[in-house]
Structure 1
């Protein structure tokens, strides 16, 4: 089957149509999604959850590094 417009324009048109449809789904008064169920708050929640899990896995202890002492040791080794 031949492409509708072109090989590159068809996918771009499809993605733009999908983004516009999702925008209408979120903003239309008839659907009236609550604020916490919209895309941006859900993405922020997911990113925050992932950040907390990474910190817990790494052991959230912030190690203080004495850079002056490290520089002194490096100078001694020269």
Structure 2
């Protein structure tokens, strides 16, 4: 069995494509840039939707934009 597997491996061309550390870092930087751009676009769209009144604010957003709602000095 071992000899047959070796012969099969020798006949089939290797599809592995080794990359350099520089290529990997370049790919990683590009992927992180794409991810951060997508997140920024989603945050911008959410802010627009909240301003338009089509989307409800969560607690943190409400506290940051309208802190007077959380004023407990009256009690």
TM-score range (shorter-chain normalised) is 0.3 to 0.5
TM-score w.r.t. the length of structure 2 is 0.36
Greater C-alpha Rg? 2
